[in-house]
């Protein structure tokens, strides 16, 4: 599959590398093409891996991952271009964490709205699927870093898009349990879980912590 990755931080690089290893054709995008980080990543990821602008990456992808920081995501997606996202599966991995008021971070949007919903409203022809935002980046692509069965969530308005993401999560990344929380308003639940995750991260002094849904 042709994959676009928006954001050259550790999340973008880790997802990009894993997807390239799985045989996907990955194009990483950032604010400007030719940055040192993105060029080094493309060399190391090998295969047909490319780097360029947000727009280049979005135009390339059949599935596009938003791996930009949550506070900058809407701007980055605007730079990627609505036309380049039209009809595409847009996996929103970001969390709207606001670090400007110190630690712990707060959410810049929550309760009556979410970043996932904001993105879906701003890009109505994209098929936004919120996922992967509830675990640390290493666990996203290697769930076995945490023992036992634990849960990944998805939410989104398009059933086929969610099915494609769930398939990638399960067969590509090795997730054993993926729970579909329904339409994109489920992103509120996924993003508002972050304060609990941050608390558990602090307590256990390890980011390798997740939850298993028991019922």
Concatenate the DSSP letters of all residues of 2-37 into one string. EEEEE--SHHHHHHHHHHHHTT-EEEEEESSTT-HH
Structure tokens at 141: 């692509």
Question: Per-residue x/- mask for its own copies, residues 89 to 108, rule CB under 8 A?
Answer: -----------------xx-
Torsion of the alpha carbons at 153, 154, 159 and 164, rounded to the nearest 10: -90
For the chain, what is the largest distance between any 2 Cα atoms, rounded to a whole number of angstroms?
Answer: 49
By the rule CB under 8 A, 163 interacts with its own copies:
no
43 binds its own copies (CB under 8 A): no
Is residue 110 at the binding interface for its own copies, with CB under 8 A as the rule?
Answer: yes
Between 37 and 108, CB nearer to its own copies: 108
Residue 108 CB, nearest distance to its own copies (Å)? 9
Q: Which of 5, 112, 130, 169 binds its own copies (CB under 8 A)?
A: 112
If the CB atoms of residues 36 and 147 are measured against its own copies, the closer one turns out to be 147
Q: Is 178 in the site for its own copies (CB under 8 A)?
A: no
Neighbouring residues of 113: CB distance < 8 A, sequence distance ≥ 6: 188
Our finding on whether 188 is near its own copies (CB under 8 A) is yes
Instruction: Count CB-CB contacts under 10 A for residue 196.
Output: 12
Check if the beta carbon of residue 85 is closer than 8 Å to that of residue 111: no
In the bound complex, what is the minimum distance in angstroms from residue 200's beta carbon to its own copies?
A: 6
Give me the residues that bind its own copies (CB under 8 A), please: 106-107, 110-112, 146-151, 179-182, 186, 188-190, 192-193, 195-196, 198-200, 202-204, 206, 208-215
């Amino acid at each position: 599959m042709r994959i676009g990755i928006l954001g050259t931080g550790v999340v973008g690089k880790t997802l990009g590398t894993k997807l390239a290893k799985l045989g996907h054709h990955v194009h990483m995008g950032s604010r400007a093409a030719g940055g040192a980080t993105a060029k080094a990543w493309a060399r190391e990821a090998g295969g047909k891996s490319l780097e360029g602008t947000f727009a280049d990456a979005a135009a390339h992808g059949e599935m596009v991952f938003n791996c930009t920081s949550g506070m900058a995501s809407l701007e980055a997606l605007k730079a990627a271009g609505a036309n380049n996202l039209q009809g595409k599966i847009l996996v929103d991995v970001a969390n709207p964490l606001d670090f400007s008021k110190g630690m712990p971070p707060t959410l810049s949007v929550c309760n009556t709205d979410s970043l996932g919903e904001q993105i879906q409203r701003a890009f109505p022809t994209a098929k936004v699927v919120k996922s992967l935002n509830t675990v640390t980046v290493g666990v996203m692509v290697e769930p076995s870093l945490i023992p036992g069965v634990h849960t990944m969530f998805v939410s989104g308005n398009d059933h086929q898009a969610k099915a494609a993401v769930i398939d990638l999560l399960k067969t590509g990344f090795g997730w054993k349990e993926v729970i579909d929380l329904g339409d994109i308003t489920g992103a509120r639940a996924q993003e508002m879980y972050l304060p609990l995750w941050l608390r558990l991260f602090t307590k256990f002094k390890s980011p390798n912590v997740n939850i298993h849904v028991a019922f």
